Amino acid sequence: MSLTMCHLYANLLNTYGDNGNLLVLKHRANARGIAFDIETISLDQPFDGDKYDMVFIGGGQDYEQLLVAKDLQTKKAALTAYIENNKVMLAICGGYQMLGQYYMDADGNRIDGISVMPHYTVNGDERFIGDVILHNKTFDEKYVGFENHGGRTYLGEGQQPLAMVEKGRGNNGEDGTEGTIYKNTFGSYLHGALLANNADLADRLLLNALQTKYPELAELPPLVSKFQAKAKAERLLGRDATDK
Ligand code: GLN
């Protein structure tokens, strides 16, 4: 099995180690014997969703978001089709903002999104910075991460959050929501990188992407990292794996 990931605007939207999400996905795919290729698409390069099983777009400063905004409109139709076709996408912070209607930045610029989802974002005076704990009721999973954003995001009518905030500010510091889920597209403010702290979510993205490509696949093959294998072997021998 193999997966191909498209990293959108990798050279511009790459704050707070968001690239780590790709390393986690690649590691967790490879440790299951699944090949994982990453291609980058940036300004003036067409996006062809048929080529990809997953898409990632990271966070950025307002300045980089402005640079990306115009180009993003040229990719709007292809990205919308990709998302509407239930394919897997992860969008963090600035990338998440730009899947919605617009982001009014700290200088009052309106940065148009692709409106594939109804959320919109307006900058507030205080930046929301700090550790975050979330709970997703549907999956009964906790997610942890770190947020740093000036934007307050308001979900549209009926738009699903990724999870509810137990600690931190989330989408807007008011309604207790964080991020969004639409079909197989996941948006979140969490850096950290998000998937490095939240293996359940990483595996959900991998399974969804694999099942789109290989519909007969029932579940993910088991993951056995070198460290887990060593720790298990040491435990079986009655030793503490952290000794050496
Ligand atoms: N510039 C946006 C904001 O401040 C996004 C920040 C980010 O991607 N980390 O809200």
- Closest ligand 1 atom to residue 151 Cα is 10
Task: Say yes or no to pLDDT of 232 above 80.
Answer: no
- What is the maximal distance between C-alpha atoms in the chain? 63
Domain assignment present for 244: no
How many A from CA of 40 to the centre of ligand 1?
Answer: 21
pLDDT of 63-89, one tens digit each? 999 999 999 999 999 999 999 999 999
Q: Determine which one of 7, 93, 119, 149 is catalytic.
A: 93
- Whether 93 lines ligand 1, by a CB cut-off of 6 Å, is yes
User: 191 or 230: which carries more pLDDT confidence?
Assistant: 191
Asked which of 32-36, 197-201, 218-222 is least confident by mean pLDDT, the reply is 218-222
Q: Is residue 59 very low, low, confident or very high in pLDDT (cuts 50, 70, 90)?
A: very high
Domain assignment present for 80: yes
CATH number of the domain residue 76 falls in: 3.40.50.880
Domain assignment present for 161: yes
Task: Say yes or no to pLDDT of 233 above 80.
Answer: no
State the average pLDDT over residues 200-209. Answer: 96
Q: Over the Cα atoms of the chain, what is R_g?
A: 18
Cβ proximity of 29 and 53 under 8 Å: no
d(CA 101, CA 103): 7
Total structural domains in the chain?
1
- Closest ligand 1 atom to residue 93 Cα is 8
pLDDT of residue 243: 45
pLDDT of 112-138, one tens digit each? 999 999 999 999 999 999 999 999 999
Domain assignment present for 23: yes
Tell me the residue range of the domain where 189 lies: 2-237
- Whether 151 lines ligand 1, by a CB cut-off of 6 Å, is yes
- Whether 184 lines ligand 1, by a CB cut-off of 6 Å, is no
Domain assignment present for 180: yes
Indicate the average pLDDT of the chain.
93
Domain assignment present for 83: yes
Q: What is the pTM of this model?
A: 0.91
pLDDT of 4-39, one tens digit each? 999 999 999 988 889 999 999 999 999 999 999 999
